[in-house]
Structures are given as C-alpha cells and as structure tokens.
A and B are shown apart, each in its own frame.
Chain A
Amino acid sequence: MKDALIAETISIAGHGGDEIEAYLARPLGEDSVGSVVVIHHMPGYDAGTKEIARKFAANGYAALMPNLYYREAPGASPDDAAAAARAQGGVPDERLVGDVAGAADYLRGLEHSNGNVGVIGYCSGGRQSYLAACSLPLQAAVDCYGAFIVSQPPAGMPLKAQPIIGLAQNLSCPLLGLFGAEDSHPSPEETAELAKVLSELGKEHEFHTYDGAGHAFFAVERPSYRVEAAGDGWQKIWDFYGRYLAG
C-alpha cells in the first residue's frame, strides 16, 4: 500500500483567521513526509490544479491548495470564482501571504509531517510563491513562470500586483525557477535580472528556461502545454524537493 493516498476538500484558517476552502492530497501510510503548499493559477482553484496536488501526493508529499478566491465566491464553480476575483483586481499580496501561512501551519500539524514545507505556484501563483518565500519561513520554493516580480505591470492594468524584487533579501529558502524562453511575462530578461539579484545577495537559486515553451507550459489541458519542458520541469521539481523537503 505504498502508493495509497487520500484527496479531499477541507477547511483551514487563512489570512486573518478566515475559514477558507482548501484541497488536501496526502499519502497514506506511516512514513514521515515533506509538504507543499500549491498556489493555483489565475484561472482558479480548478480541476487541473487539484490534479497537480494529487501528483505531489502520489510522489510522497502532502500537498495543500488553498482556494484563494473563496472569499469572493464561496461555493461557486472555479471559473465563476475566477471571474469574480479578477473583476476585483486579483488577490491582495497581504492576504495571499496569510493564506499560505495558514496552509503551511496546517501541513506542519499533520501527524506524519517531517516539518519541512515548500511552496509552488503557477502563472500569477509563480509570483505569489516567491512572495510567500520572501515573507514566511519555508524550506523550498518553486516559481513557475510568475510575472511582475521584476517589472511593473503595463500601464492601464488594474492589477494590484507590484514588483517585489526588493523583497529578495528576505528570501527564506532555495528557489527553483522554471520558465519558458518564449514567454513575455516574465521575459527571459526579467528572470535573468532576478537571478542576478539573488546571486548578488548570495541567495540559493536554480533557474531553467526552456526553448520552445512559452507561458503555462505545465498546463496539460491547455494549448500552451509543452510535453518536453513539462516533463523535464517535473524532474527538476522532484530533484529539488527531494533535496530540501523529503523524508
């Protein structure tokens, strides 16, 4: 029964103690496990990202994905919730950090937790993964094509996100960055700038930029999916989390 797992919707305390919905996937069994907070992409708390959470569980990690749009649309379908959240400009940074902190606390409290908690995020969640790792004590962070860490959103966008490269000195853990060479947000120039700043600060990081891939190359249900980049990216994630979270 080494491969048995359970996945279910639960309630956790998020930012400000708010009760929010979250999706928990974890291995069954007695082994000590590392944990991952999964930050969903802008299209929301959807089936594709729940599948990612289960993939972590199948690979030996407890994974918890908070529904970042729960407050705007409790009980709504993921696409309706995403529409409601985007109409309000997205998730405020402070609330995101609070929700990830609540998720990390929940994971550390699981019976078989080894105490190590990482974070991973996709698209808008990539920026949020870096933000969380610069704001909370974590053991490993993965940024999958997060934009607006280095650069300002283009003029006219009602996006609450502002550049957060200035937080780099607070990065609490190693950072794995997975990017597409054909992406424009973030562009290869922006991710190179982030790498340069992290190097200057002596912050451990490992960035990979895939040729032939653009934004959202991990998203299997979208035309942006790139099997070679995603396959290699997952191997990089298993190697990275294996070093910093496992056991």
Chain B
Amino acid sequence: MNPAQEQIVGTSPLRKEGAAKVLGEAKYVDDLSLPGMWFGATVRSKIARGRIVSIKFGEEINWSEFVVVTAKDIPGTNTIVHLIQDHPCLADEFVNHPEEPILLLAHPDRARLPQAVAAVKIEYEPWPAVFTIEESERMDPIVWGEDNTFKSYVMEKGNVDSVWDDAAFIVEGEYRTGAQEQLYIENNGCIAEYSEEEGVTVHGSLQCPYYLHHALMVAFDLPEDKCRVIQTETGGAFGGKEDFPSVIGTHAALLAKKAGRPVKICYDRGEDMAATTKRHPSRTRHKTAVSRDGKLLGGEIEFAIDGGAYSTLSPVVLSRGTIHAAGAYLWPHLRIRAKAMATNIPPHGAFRGFGAPQSLFALERHMDKIAAVVGITPEELRRRNFLHPGDATATGQIVKDPIDMNAMLTRALEASDYHAKTARFAEENRTSTIKRGIGFASFFHGAGFTGSGERRLNSLVKLEVNPEGRVVILVSSTEFGQGTNTILCQVAAQALRIPYEEILIAQPDTKRVPNSGPTVASRTAMIVGRLVERACESLVQTLQTGAELKVAYTSEEFRQAALRYLAWHGELHASARYEPANEIFWDDENYRGDAYPAFAWAVYVAEVAVDMTTYAATCTNFWALQEVGKVLHPVLAAGQIEGGVAQGIGYALYEKCVWKEGAMANNQMTNYIMPTSADLPPIHVLFEEIPSIHGAFGAKGIGELPMDGPAPAILNAIEAATGIAFNECPLLPEDIFEAMTGHNGGSEDLDPAVAGPVFSGSTS
C-alpha cells in the first residue's frame, strides 16, 4: 500500500455525479431530445379481463398525422420476456388487467396525444375477473395457467409434523400487507431509435440495461449486437425500474421503427401509478409450536403473494419471501408452503425488499404474539431463539458470520431507551389521550441473488484505460441515487491506490459495458464491488509485469505506466468474472442449502404515538441498527438506511393503494399518501461492521435491508400503545378506529368511486 495514498473506502467522498445534480445540470430522459424526435403514448384497456371486440378510431382526429402500432407490428415474439413469456407486449385479442397496453400512438406534438388516446374507442366483451388472493384461490374463473398459480414452493426443514403433540403452546396468526407504489419522483420514460444498420437503441430511466436488451432481442427478433440500451440519469427506481422498462422500452422501440424516427415515451404520474408495477400484496399464515419456556419447536407457514395478471418476477419475489419467512431464528422443524397467485390487476413487480418485507412483517408480528401467549417479553422470546454462528437457517445454511444478535438487540434497545420507555409509556397511557408505545423487529436480509443465481448471472466487470491514461470502470450496474458510481470508484481508487477523483465510470451502455448483472438484490457493493476490486488487482499486475510499474507508485507514475502500455499495445483492459468465494450448495428443487452469499443483520426500534381523538398513529422516533459488513461510504450508507426506513414507515402507516375493479383509484400524489418532511421522525442510524469475505473490502448488501424492519416494529409498538394487535399494513386511522370502536368504517371501506381532489367547474 502506498503510504501516501489515503484509505478512501470507509470515508465519504463527494458523489461522482453529485455536482451536476445540485446544479440542475444532470440530464434525465425527459430532459433529452434527439433530432426529429416524436412522442409516444399508450392506449390501454379499461376493463380487467375480457375479449377485445372492436377498435374504432374517432373521426375527430386526423389519423394520418399519427403512427399507430398494434400487436401485428411486432417483428419478433409478442412478449416482454422476464422469466417466462406469458406477458404480451401488446394485447392482441384478450386483455387481463386494467391499463393493459393495446395500441401505441406517436405524433410530433406531445400535446396532441392525450386527445388521440381518448379518441380510440375500444369495445370489449368483459369476462369475470379476480382481484384478490382469495378470489384467485377459488379458481373460478381460472385467469392464468391451470390453477391461477404462477409458482409455488414447499420448503422444509426437519419434520414439522412431529412437533405438535409436544408443544406447550400452538400459536396461529394471519398477517397481510398491501400493494405499495415505488413512487420514484421521476416517472418511467425512454427514447428509442431504430435503423436497419444499427438496429434498436433505447435510452432510458432504468436499473438493468441488459434486461431491456434481452427483451428487445426477443420482441424484435434481433441479434445481440443489433440491440443497444443506454441508461440515462435515473431519478429514483427502488425496483420499479427493474422489469418495467422492458415494457416501455419495447413500446418506444416499436414506434421508432414504424415512424422511422426517434420516439420518446414519458409517462405522467397518473399513468405511471396506474399502469406500472407495485409491491406484491401478501397473506401469511403462521402456525407455530412453542415449548413452555418459549423455544420455537417448529412451524408451518403459508405465504401467498398476489402477482397481478402476468408472471413477471413473481417466482423470484416468492422465492425471497419464502426464504426470509423464517427470519433470524433457529427453527428445528419447519414447513413453508408458498404460492404466487394471478389476479386481474396490473402485474406487480420488484420493489426494494422483494418479498422479504412481506414475510418478515408477518413473522415479526407473530413473534410478538407468541411472546404474549407464552407470557414472556418480546425481547426474551427473541433471545431464546436467535440464530447463532454455526446454526442452520431454515434452508439449512450454516451461519458463518460471527454475528451476535443478542448483542445487537441489547445495543438497539439501549440506544432507544426501550425499557425505560416501555415502563413510562405504560404509566402515562393510563391517563393520556395520546397513547405511546415502543416496539422492535429483529431480522436479516440476504444479499445477492438466491442460491446459484450469481453463478448463473456470471457477472463480468471490465476496466479500460483511456488515451489520457485514466481508468474507466465499465459495468452495467446503474446509479439511481443509491451511490453505485461513487462506491465503485472508491473501491477502484483504493484497489489501484490512486485518487478517487481520477477514477472514471462509464455511462451504462450495452454497446460498451459488459453485463455485470442487474442493479438489484443488494448485490452491487458486494458482488460487483468485489469484481471491480479484482479487476483492479489484475490491472496493477499487468502494469507491473508489462509496463515497469513499481511496487509502490504515485498516481502520476501509474498514469505514465498506463500511457506506456497504451503506446506499446494500443489498448489496456482488465476484467474479472464472478467466482463464488467458496462452494455454494443450493438445491433449487427442494430449496435447501446456501440461500445467499451473505446476510446483513438488523434490529429496528420504533416509537409511536396513537392519538385517541383521531385514531391516527404516527412514528415519533426510530432507531435502525444493522450489521452490513464494511461500510464503504458512511454518508451514502446512512442515506440508504434513512431512505429505506422512510419508505418502510410509508408502508406501515400511509401508503394505501385503493382499488376499483382492479384499477388503482388513487393514482395521484394527492391521494396516494407518501410521508412529507413534516411526517417523518428522527431516524437514528447505527452500524456494526463485521467484514465479509464476499464483498469488496468486506462489504455486504445494504439497499433493501431497511425495508424489512419498520412496518413490524411500528405495528409492534402500536400494540404496546393500544393493547390491540393489528396484523395488516398499511394501518390507517380508519382501521384503528374500526378496531377500537367495533364500527365498520375501516380503510377497506374507502370508496374509490368518490375520488379527489375535485376540480373547479369541471364537475357538474
């Protein structure tokens, strides 16, 4: 290590693209234009399920000015490929959800499109549809496959049928979570171009350039080198731009091909909320055998998620939710039956956490219930059941992290003054109209793709040295606020021992960067970061053996060596391909083995106040303690936790999707309630660091972990405050009112027919 070079990993250098962002110079897709560009819009189904009988084009529009694309214009397969090919790119004869895309229109004047869309009159023969997990389970009608089930798993450990007879307690519970909208402040958008020579090029707001690349290949029947995807500066994603860009990108490309010119499609907020993916709603049923002294003997868990109309990523969301359903505890025996059901709702998709927030919500609520039944505190129950190093998880993975969850719990409860507050609130609540409570959730989150997923991804990272002798990182990993650019440059700077400021990272362009995998699953720091580290080591080696670079060097010496090498050889690259750090055993059939390369561990504590006048619960204070391996960039890492906790608080208390016949009725920011700066509590972030062998400089994944803890911690706190067990989120004041007073009038009774705000003069 060059003694003059500071340690950059573990410090907080300025965000690589940060200056442009604060200056307002960063260009997001709707800020961009291409010469001759037209604009596109989508004509969508107004019914949930049925047959298209006729399509008429209203005479008030001069259709010769427009380009119209239907399913017939799709050169390849009429599908948006995710895991399987059940998802039509454009509906042809049948529709299976409200907002399903049927036609695409393009015109040079953006302002003319809304009227044109409205002028396309489609007649349908409506068929019966299903809108909930329960309706889908009845299999009448069958809306997908043979039994409305996209995917199911059975995961077993030991022999759970043997535990019931000896159990001192058998505790059952049912828990539900609702859909949640990612609500990135930048809506989905892209610009597509087409030419015979170049093929299809799409510039877009997206997380996974190679996912869209693959989708284009299939829809256009084009080879790899005739499809190109370039990520533009992306204004938030959270999973909502993981699979959905495959839809909007293919649509824009179809219009560009037919129009013979570039086409931009940017959704407005109403369309984005109504038509794009959301978090899968879930229903979890627990039945748990517990010993007299509060040890988990075994359990049966039924975990069901609502996937919407097409399969998209539901099997993988289900997978992650299933594996996390047992949480951070030792289960001697376990059976989890999991299924993803089809409904006639716009397909659900990826959202930070990806199944784990759903199943962990259920588990952490259920643990508090078990504690109450057994007659011990929630804290004591956890302590008697935590996984320890050397224990086997629910999939039989041996815990290798030297994690001490007891110590984590102690630290979190001390930081939040949990015990004193529990006592004080119990006392004060007797006479106060504001009931206070404090609760916690303890959990883990697996980083990286499940099982052999990372091996299948086979990620590749490259470094290139440019003519000025500067190192450029080439990855398909995208920046969308979480700090990809910054942390990968930090890793490279440290591994190369040259200043952070001198490292460049290329805009993800599939023509230029290799496939380092999608930017999902909390894998970037851990998996891709480690590959960057290895590629850097390889580059230094190359220069030391081939360009006379000394063992200890200054950054200028490094650059000179690189220039020398370039002069001799013309180009200078290094690369690294994924290799697991050790053998990962994963049985995909039986869901047994090493589920994830690494886990992050956490204890979150929430304080709440429930106002008995308005029945409104607010989160008044929050502590988030996590062990995430090496914290590469403290400011970014804390920012990830704070942002994730804020989304989790929204999930718990504010963000309700109101549905009407399968359509989102509250698809406006006025009526889909996201917390403002006036609603969120102080969020205290604490880290433990146990460096992992897997990630760059010991980093593990961090992005999704914070989504898992807030909702159960908050509802646990609300139970402490009110004495009432609420088992569904979001939990609105109307729901608390209903439970406390026995009246109907919970949030299930929200009437989506009466929307708001109402507009002056435009209603009669």
Q: Do A and B bind each other?
A: no
